[in-house]
Amino acid sequence: MIKQELREEVAQATRLFWEKDLSPGQDSGDTSLRDPQTNLIYICPRPKPGVLHIPNWGVIKDEHIVVINQQGEVVDDFGLEPTVEAPMHLAIYEARPEVNAIVHSHAVWSSAFAVTGKNIPLILAEQSLRLGGEVRCAEYGSVGSDDIARNIVKALEGHKNAALMMNHGAVCLGKNFEEAFIVSNFLEKGAKTALLGTVLGKLITRRPDEILDQRLLKKAK
Secondary structure of residue 52 in the 3-state scheme: strand
Q: Please, which residue, 47 or 169, has the CB nearer to Zn ion?
A: 169
Q: Please, which residue, 84 or 125, has the CB nearer to Zn ion?
A: 84
Secondary structure of residue 184 in the 3-state scheme: helix
Half-sphere exposure of 215 (CA within 13 A, CB side): 0
Determine if residue 83 is left, alpha or beta; phi over 0 gives left, psi from -120 to 50 gives alpha, anything else beta: beta
Nearest distance in Å: CB 132, Zn ion: 21
Site string for Zn ion, 9-48 (x = CB under 5 A): ----------------------------------------
Contact 175, 101 (CB under 8 A): yes
Residue 110 CB neighbour total at 10 angstroms: 28
Nearest distance in Å: CB 28, Zn ion: 6
Stretch that binds Zn ion, among 43-51, 150-158, 164-172, 196-204 (CB under 5 A): 164-172
Nearest distance in Å: CB 32, Zn ion: 12
Nearest distance in Å: CB 54, Zn ion: 15
Q: Please, which residue, 121 or 169, has the CB nearer to Zn ion?
A: 169
Strand partners, 74: 68
State the Cα–Cα distance between residues 7 and 13, nearest whole angstrom.
10
Checking DSSP bridges between strand 101-105 and strand 30-34, what pairing results, if any?
Answer: antiparallel
Q: Please, which residue, 154 or 207, has the CB nearer to Zn ion?
A: 154
Residue 159 CB neighbour total at 10 angstroms: 11
Stretch that binds Zn ion, among 13-21, 73-81, 110-118, 167-175 (CB under 5 A): 167-175
Nearest distance in Å: CB 169, Zn ion: 5
Binding site for Zn ion (CB under 5 A): 169
